Structures are given as C-alpha cells and as structure tokens.
Amino acid sequence: MKCRVCGETASIALRSHKTAFCDTHFLIFFEKRVQTTIRRYGLIRAGDRPIVAVSGGKDSLSLWALLQRMGIAADGIYVNLGIGDYSRVSLEKIKAVADAIGRKVHIFHVPATFQRDITEVAKVLRRAPCSACGMIKRYVMNKICIEKGYNLLLTGHNLDDEAAALFGNVLYWKKEYLWKKDISLEEDEGHLSRKAKPFFLCSEREVAAYAIISGIDYIYEECPFSKGAKTITYKNILGSIEESSPGTKLMFIKGYLKELEEIKRSSPHEGFRGSNAGTGYCGACGYPSGGGLCGYCRTLEKLEIPYSAEFEEYG
C-alpha cells in the first residue's frame, strides 16, 4: 500500500478514513485532525490557560506533546495512586516528557495525603479502587485548576473509550449519564474549570501510532483496576463491528455529538451542561459536592486525617 500524499510505502492503513500514510504524512494527518477537532468544537480558546491530566499512558502523553508542537503550552497534573511499579513507572515516563517539552507537572501523591495507597483507601470506603480513584482525581484536578489559575483541564480520552462508554449507556438506557459525555464541559465559575477531550475523534490505534512514530515513551500497562470487564467486552464488540464496517465507531460518536448539539440548541437548560455543574458545595472545603461534605473531605474524616491537598511540583 502507498502513502496517499507522497506515494512511498505506507506504514499505516486507516480503513475508517479509506487511506494510508507513511510515518511523516501520518503525523501531519493526525495533528491536522486534532487541530480541526479543537477548532470545530471550540475546545481551546484564545486566552485559555490549559493543563493536561497526564497518566503516563499513550493518550495523555501524546496529547501533551502534540499541544506543545502546535504551540499550545500546557503544564501537567499527575495523580500518583501509589500502585507499586505501575505508578512509579508512569511517573518516570511523565517526567521524561515534561523534560522534553520543558513544562512543569503538578504531582498529587495519594499515599502522602491519605497515608495509604488507593486500594486501601477504597477498602475503608467500601468502594471499588477505581471509584475511589475517580473521586480523588476529580477533586485534586479541579483544585489545581482553581488554585493555580488553569481554566481548562484537558484529558486524553479517545474514540474507543468514548464509544465503549456510550455503547454501555445506550445498551442499558442509563439516561442519567447518556447526555453527559460531551467532548467539552463548561465551567462552573470559581468552582469547576472547563474540561475538554481533544482526542474524542481519534481511535486508540491512531493515538498509539502517533506516540510510537513521534518517539513518545509511555507505559504500556493499564492500571490493574482501571477498566471493568464490561468496558473490555464493549470495546471488543465495537472492534468486530469496526472490522467488518470500517468507520462505524467514528459515525457513532459523531452522530452522538450532533444529537447533543441539537438537544442543547432546542433546550438550553442547566441539565445539558453535563456533569460539570455542581449541585451544592462542601461545608468543609467549599468545593462542589452533592450536598454536605464532599467525597474527599468525607474520606479524610473517616480516616481521621486533617484536611490537606498538597502538590509536588516538578520541572
């Protein structure tokens, strides 16, 4: 197969786009697509001060490096969950990219604040590790934005993540989540920063190819607690549909965004601002909560640890 642009031997075929590229032209194609997504959905606006949530995986590290290449300077935030070698190696990869692009990263260490790793925190809360981890991540990411004046939190969620989540929500008609998976969420002034997912329309395979071709060293392992069995099943099902009908995943997600735009246009009420709008504020720390103490403060209280949320700064 030949590269669509230069006619040299192609290194990657993109069946969903009915095309193929050599390394150089794939990088150009990929960056252009992300740039178009950012512009089309107004993800990054003039005057924004973005921060990237970096996990050490291919998605977030590629996003961080790609933004730098596009001339969008962004610092990073990493939440160290204290999961043995997985967390240690993740941080090493993050620091290497931080050094390479000359940006700093704010690091929140779960074990330093909670005096135990995320699995032990979860046990005390009687929750699954990733449920406790999600709550802590949301809290500290929001806190760093508000405290340090970043008005936009960018994450590396990709097309496959979003399609699997949407598939699950449609399959079980989880109406409470169905319309809350937008490509961006508006800010709740002074309490929650804006959020956006620039890789929303990029498949996992494309992002992995981008990372490898551009020499970004990332951690291959996924967090041992991150993906539920159901998500993996949905990804496999969507993968086989994609195999026989290339482009289906992209159509599914683009159709969702189009539908969401129409709903927002016809009923621009609060409900469709997504999950970013707080319903109440924590009596202890003032950050958003469903009412009473927020999950973060409740956890500290349960563990009889005084409030703290310290960050280490690297770079």
Choice between 27 and 303, CB closer to ligand FES: 303
Q: 292 — alpha (psi -120 to 50), left (phi > 0) or beta? A: left
CA nearest 284: which of 262, 248, 308? 308
Q: How far is the CB of 118 from ligand FES (least distance, A)?
A: 5
Q: Which long-range contacts (CB under 8 A, 24 or more apart) does 259-265 make?
A: 260/179, 260/182, 263/179
Choice between 36 and 115, CB closer to ligand FES: 115
Residue 285: name its binding partner from ligand AMP, Zn ion, ligand FES, none (Cβ under 5 to 8 Å by kind): Zn ion
Residue 234: name its binding partner from ligand AMP, Zn ion, ligand FES, none (Cβ under 5 to 8 Å by kind): none
| Interaction between residue 157 and ligand AMP (CB under 6 A) | yes
Bridge partners, residue 289, by sequence: 280
Q: How far is the CB of 129 from ligand FES (least distance, A)?
A: 4
Q: How far is the CB of 72 from ligand AMP (least distance, A)?
A: 15
C-alpha to C-alpha distance for 181 and 1, rounded to whole angstroms: 37
- Using CB under 5 A as the criterion, which residues of the chain lie in contact with Zn ion when the complex forms? 3, 5-6, 22, 25, 282, 284-285, 294, 297
Q: Tell me the three state secondary structure of residue 188.
A: strand
Q: How far is the CB of 155 from ligand FES (least distance, A)?
A: 12
Neighbours of 11 (CB within 10 A): 16
Q: How far is the CB of 74 from ligand AMP (least distance, A)?
A: 12
Neighbours of 240 (CB within 10 A): 9
Contact at 8 Å (CB) between 226 and 157?
A: no
Q: Cα angle vertex 34, ends 33, 37, to 5°?
A: 90
Among 56, 129, 288, 295, binds ligand FES (CB under 6 A): 129
User: Looking at 70-78, 161-169, 223-231, 273-281, which segment touches ligand FES (CB under 6 A)?
Assistant: 223-231
> Side chain identity at 164, as an amino acid letter?
A
Among 51, 94, 130, 145, binds ligand FES (CB under 6 A): 130
Among 24, 226, 231, 275, binds ligand FES (CB under 6 A): 226
Parallel, antiparallel or unpaired: strands 50-53 and 152-154: parallel
User: Looking at 96-104, 156-164, 247-255, 262-270, which segment touches ligand AMP (CB under 6 A)?
Assistant: 156-164
Residue 156: name its binding partner from ligand AMP, ligand FES, Zn ion, none (Cβ under 5 to 8 Å by kind): ligand AMP
Residue 3: name its binding partner from ligand AMP, ligand FES, Zn ion, none (Cβ under 5 to 8 Å by kind): Zn ion
Residue 59: name its binding partner from Zn ion, ligand FES, ligand AMP, none (Cβ under 5 to 8 Å by kind): ligand AMP
C-alpha to C-alpha distance for 72 and 54, rounded to whole angstroms: 16
Q: Tell me the three state secondary structure of residue 202.
A: coil
**Segments of the chain assigned E as strands:** 12-14, 19-21, 50-53, 75-80, 105-109, 152-154, 184-185, 194-196, 280-281, 288-289, 312-314
Choice between 107 and 300, CB closer to ligand AMP: 107
The residues that touch ligand FES, with contacts defined as CB under 6 A, are: 81, 118, 129-130, 133, 223, 225-226
